[in-house]
Structure 1
Amino acid sequence: MAVTIVGTLDTKGEEIGFARDVLRAQGVDVHIIDTGVVGDPGIDPDTTASAVAEAGGTTLGHLRDDADRGEAIEAMGKGAAAIVQQLHDAGDLDGVLGLGGSGNTSIATTAMRALPVGVPKVMVSTMASGDIEPYVGATDVMMLYSVADIEGLNQLSRRVIANAALAMVGMVTNQPDIEVEDRPTIGISMFGVTTQCVQTAREYLEERGYETIIFHATGTGGKAMEALVRQGVIDGVLDVTTTEWADELVGGVLAAGPDRLDAAAETGTPQVVSTGALDMVNFGPRDSVPEEFEGRHFHIHNPQVTLMRTTAEENADLGEVIAKKLSAANGPTALYIPLGGVSMLDVEGADFHDPDADTALFEALKTNLAESVELVEMETDINDEAFARALAEQLDAYMRAVDLAPEE
């Protein structure tokens, strides 16, 4: 077993050396990648900082002369990512461990995010107690808060670093024999207010031999699904819950970025898409909602989650954006519209029921949708069993048409 440690040996050589020794004491081989730019390494690396800089498209001399911290972090992150990918492809990397402050946390997690899901990744960081989304992204990076700064060895830092190293030992030396069936995989987007639809569709698809992976539409969930489509892990997409676009467009906290809905379209992956939870924008606790939205219609989902009803104007914009995204698809694509409500809160009698807002969404979708996209409207709400089954049947038909369905 081999673990790669990514760290700045000019400032964290002692601490990285300690982690190396803990790993080696457990019989694990160690490969150290030096990402330090300013000074000489405190211990000998296996991959030098010069090699990392070159892999990042520059030279160590240039980074030192330029003295631009942002440029250096970006270049060393790019270089470290390239090197860990090479080590992994060669079978010389079973896990990655990182140690550091904000700089090396950025560098090391950039490298970690370049590796497939499932490869053990542990980052000991001074930044791990705050907003870690920029470091973790849509991957399975594990963040461990260092508690104190990683500056010298003491009774606290030794314990935290040793725990991280031993956790890595456990992950790389005790890999379970997980049976992976060679079945076509469907990615499905879900929110609490579209759960019934997803459960019905998932059961239908699994009965027909597909494997399903459900992604919570929380921003990072959508990003993860898009990334796995591009990696070829996902063979078909049932995009029930496109709510992340509401947050992207209006300014909520669960946006997945402007590339949401691009992966399947660009790769030609079969996709069936609906309008799940486009009736809402997500915020944190009620007092965290920006003042600009005062006077809007809110629903307190729980003390930590506040939902805001989208307006007719916002829905018209959402319909235009989504329709244009789907119209650019290179593969079989269908849009299913539930005329009776886009979430459990949008049905007649529920808190977000707003026929005018829904009509604005539906009309904008139809107006901007290319003829290449199959359009189906149903007089049901999104969680109706008939609607969910229709979505799944359509995707199954697309998968069979392109010879991606399970063998019968």
Structure 2
Amino acid sequence: MVKVSLIGTCDTKLEELLFLRDAIRRADAGVEVVLIDVGRHQTQHADITLSRNDLLKMTGNDQSVADLPRGEVIKKMAECATVAVQGFLERDEIQGIIAAGGSGGTSLAATVMRNALPIGFPKMIVSTVASGDTGPIVEETDITLMYSVVDIAGLNHVLRTVLNNAGAAIAAMARSYALRSETTSSKKRVGITMFGVTTPAVDAIRKHLESHYNIETYVFHATGHGGKAMERLVRDGSLDAVLDLTTTEICDHLTGGVMSAGPNRLQAASEAGIVNIVSVGATDMSNFGPKATVPQQYKHRKLYEHNSVVTLMRTSEDEAHEVGTFIAAQLRAYAKKPEFVEVWLPMGGVSMISTSDGPFADEKADAALFGAIKKGLAGSGIKTIEDKRDINDPNFARDIAEALAKQMAISQ
């Protein structure tokens, strides 16, 4: 028997949730649906598997949430549902999860899915806000979103069609997950960060590691969510080493760019004590949207239109020093095993557009970056390697890959 958990607010959307339950069953009669009510008010219905009161009692919360502000209700019910879903997962009682709702229901369900379930577990939300800014919903996970087109407020031809599609999709995903044969690979798992301007280096590193060693690489696009995704997998124990070549997300964190991974960047691998080779790929830039969206205080800066939707801003000397200080401080503070951490500094250019003939060439800014890192790591036990080549030099890529492999062999 394959089971899918269905999360929703039964006090406001019971009719739509029951239709989605039936759509799942129509798609695959062998799939059982576990309906979890996360509504503000208690709803009595024979088809609700876990009621709102059941969830509250399960987590020791006997008091009603009906009188709480909406935001507090969402937070409390998300906490309760997370505990329930985690229990289902640990007992192997569900093979998929789906939700349907508006902005509040989407926020609640997404919180449960992000906090309770690992990457790879089938997750889907039919949402009225799925066509907008979905970053805060998905974050660094693999939640599948389906736009409801119309509001989830009464059944009609459009909503029935969307819910039927969603039901068929999650039924198939859960069935596939249940039948999947997980085999343990002997290969070591290495995370690598990449950006468009460091792609040649990452491609060379990936091919070298996979052709010369028993290594499987996982490449993460350093767009903010990419860095967080890599660090999530580190914390889950799903990576054995990290080659953090492209740390550009730090620039966005410090300057207000659109691709920040937040203030905790660089902590996970250091805290895990795994081999962690760090470089400064694409730290010559912060990222913004179309040129017209660049904040007013940066309009006078050196800007480069990467494409019609991405504008790059060259890191100033002061900002470069701040980036270097951040990198050194994070590694120094969180490195559980400093001997497994190295920082490589490509003096010939930190991206394909900051080499000597590139539009972002700036020797003073690069010197400020390198100097802050070296000063910040002095006496820490973390090795810094100054290399005259640029980051995309094939030989630099080969050598940094070899350094990673050497450290991994030592760490075994």
- TM-score range (shorter-chain normalised) is over 0.9
Letter in 2 for 1:349: D
TM-score by length of 1: 0.95
1:41: how far off? 4.6
Which of 217, 238, 248 is the equivalent residue of 2:243? 238
TM-score by length of 2: 0.94
> Matches of 1:42 and 1:229 in 2, distance apart?
42
Which of 381, 385, 389 is the equivalent residue of 2:394? 385
My pick for the range that moved more, 269-278 or 105-114, is: 105-114
Please list the CA deviations of residues 110-133 of structure 1 after superposition, one character each: whole Å capped at 9, or x if unmatched.
111121111111100111111111
1:294: how far off? 1.1
Which of 205, 214, 218 is the equivalent residue of 1:201? 205
| Contact 1:323–1:369 (8 Å) recurs in 2 | yes
Aligned: 1:319 with 2:324: yes
| Contact 1:310–1:357 (8 Å) recurs in 2 | yes
My pick for the range that moved more, 219-228 or 23-32, is: 23-32
Letter in 1 for 2:156: N
Change (3 A) 1:186 1:323: same
1:166 alignment partner in structure 2 = 168
Aligned: 1:259 with 2:264: yes
> Matches of 1:178 and 1:380 in 2, distance apart?
42
> Matches of 2:196 and 2:361 in 1, distance apart?
17
Letter in 2 for 1:372: G
Which of 332, 336, 340 is the equivalent residue of 1:330? 336
Which of 113, 125, 128 is the equivalent residue of 1:126? 128
> The residue matched to 2:132 in structure 1 has which SS?
coil
Please list the CA deviations of residues 243-285 of structure 1 after superposition, one character each: whole Å capped at 9, or x if unmatched.
0000000110000011110101111121000000000000111
Which of 275, 300, 313 is the equivalent residue of 2:305? 300
Which of 337, 358, 361 is the equivalent residue of 1:353? 361
Letter in 2 for 1:31: V
> Matches of 1:60 and 1:132 in 2, distance apart?
33
* Structure 2 unaligned regions, length at least 5: none
Aligned: 1:248 with 2:247: no
* Structure 1 unaligned regions, length at least 5: 404-408
Mapping for residues 218-233 of structure 1, pairs under 5 Å: 218-233=223-238
Number of residue pairs the alignment of both structures matches = 401
Which of 180, 187, 193 is the equivalent residue of 1:189? 193
> Matches of 1:21 and 1:205 in 2, distance apart?
48
* Superposed structure 1 runs of 4+ greater than 4 Å apart: 54-57, 175-180
Please list the CA deviations of residues 208-227 of structure 1 after superposition, one character each: whole Å capped at 9, or x if unmatched.
01111000000000010010
Please list the CA deviations of residues 286-341 of structure 1 after superposition, one character each: whole Å capped at 9, or x if unmatched.
11111111100001111111000000000001100101111120121000000111
2:54 alignment partner in structure 1 = 51
> Matches of 1:211 and 1:52 in 2, distance apart?
41
| Contact 1:11–1:42 (8 Å) recurs in 2 | no
1:339 alignment partner in structure 2 = 347
1:59: how far off? 3.8
Aligned: 1:78 with 2:83: no
1:399 alignment partner in structure 2 = 408
Aligned residues: CA RMSD: 1.5
| Contact 1:9–1:41 (8 Å) recurs in 2 | no
My pick for the range that moved more, 179-188 or 257-266, is: 179-188
1:177: how far off? 5.1
> Matches of 2:267 and 2:58 in 1, distance apart?
29
1:148 alignment partner in structure 2 = 150
1:21: how far off? 1.3
> Matches of 1:142 and 1:363 in 2, distance apart?
44
